[in-house]
Amino acid sequence: MQKAVPFLLVALSLVGIWLGMDLTDKHFQLIHQPDLAFDSLCEVNETVSCAKVNASKWSAISLGSSRAELPVSVPAVGFYAVIALLALMAAFEPKRRSKALAWIAVGMIPALAFSLYLLAIQAFAVKAWCLFCLALDATTLAATVLAYVGHGGGVGGILADVKEDKGLGGIALAVLLAVTWVSYNSYGSKVSKLSKKPASFAAAADEHGEDDGHGHDKASEEDDMSPEERALAIEQARKAVAEFVADWPSVTAKPIVINPYDGIKGKEGADVVFVEFADFDCPHCKMAGWFLKDIAHRYGDHVSFVFKHYPLGTACNPGLSKDIHPHACEAAVGTQCARRQGRFWEFHDHTFDNQGNLGTKTMLKVADQLGLERAEFEECLNRDTLWDEVRSQVAQGKELGITGTPSMFVNGKELSSPHPLIVEAALRQELKARGVTDLPEDADDIFP
């Protein structure tokens, strides 16, 4: 059995590396490329949900506004790369076998402590379980037991070997930092590619004092672009907009009824009506929220904005095959309750700020922050008429053929993409068709 221990540890390490990489990919998809058809083996219900855990605020560590977040699964990749290296050393270098196993056993102590911390987060904060995360915890526990048994010298023998070969610990630490650094920079590079936008949009937001909802100015992202990168981005933007504008006349407008209980911002009878169907637990919907504020500011009374709910939760959207965002329905109802007290848009913004941590407690906290009448709001959350408002909006979305969020319409024409370039291109085309000439400046000549 003891001879097989190093090889078993190698196998466990490969499992740990795979789980760390898979969880990192899940986090990236949920936060930066959310998909209605999120595919996971552990989307069982509200209590067993990888999506809920991996999209929560505890799933990543902030490294400052200028850098991508660090998913907590990234260090697992580096850690298990170190365990694999030490296990291979134990298998093929008999003289260093006991010392390599000793360092594995010692290294597992902080790993187990971190696993217990994450278990507590799932149990008491997120109140949901990720089976992939639990599998990673089980891998850590199994590796700890194997290293201890395989060493065979007890705690005293392990500590003696560690003290005798401190250099091995230094090598392990260097490998851990190197692999983690490479993994994080690979993740950060993917995030950076998604976040780059043509300068005209960022500059417009900067001019009006808008930020991106994450505490830093959108224009600051352009500071990291070289002149060549900026020129390429603008050229790509012009091409994408030209293709969209060429197809826009052929898009058929669909009749969309504006309900008195929809969230409406802008002048009644505006030249253009922009309708968005969104979900408060959808990361792309949150991103859309801040760039739509900028567009609304610049286009003024020419455009009326309408917000309709389309939560991806079975409590109000029963046609879904999975309960993707279990708390999104109650968040939608909470916003409708806030509308009854004249605070729809403020509640809308605060709810997006709490994305990943929604639920009754959060709804009540936001209501208190906005100074809403607490008893009335709390009673409203359970009122059938408010739930019916949300279900009615969901039904409208289904009639329009919506399959994901955010889904956007300009004068009844559905946009092929929620990208800010496409949104603004559609608005400008509709306004020009109605004879509006005082459009916002297009400094980079992106729009035809």
> Helix/strand/coil (H, E, C) string of 299-316?
HHHHEEEEEEECCCCCCC
Q: Which two tokens stand for residue 211?
A: 């930020």
Give the Cα separation of 69 and 24 in Å (integer).
11
What's residue 356's pLDDT? 79
What's residue 330's pLDDT? 96
For tokens 């097989």, the residue is 4
Residue 323 has a CB neighbour count (10 Å cut-off) of: 21
Domains in the chain, start-ordered, CATH in brackets?
A: 2-195 (1.20.1440.130), 250-433 (3.40.30.10)
CB 417 within 8 A of CB 406: no
What's residue 118's pLDDT? 93
From first to last of its 448 residues, what are the pLDDT tens digits of the chain?
Answer: 678 999 999 999 999 999 999 999 888 877 766 544 445 567 677 688 887 788 787 888 877 656 778 999 999 999 999 999 999 999 999 899 999 999 999 999 999 999 999 999 999 988 889 999 999 999 999 999 999 999 999 999 999 999 998 889 899 999 999 999 999 889 888 876 654 444 343 333 333 333 333 333 444 444 566 888 888 888 988 999 999 999 999 999 999 999 999 999 988 889 999 999 999 988 889 888 888 988 998 999 999 999 999 999 999 998 887 788 889 999 999 999 999 999 999 999 999 988 878 889 999 999 999 999 999 999 999 999 999 999 999 999 999 998 888 999 999 999 988 889 999 999 999 999 999 988 999 888 899 8
What's residue 37's pLDDT? 44
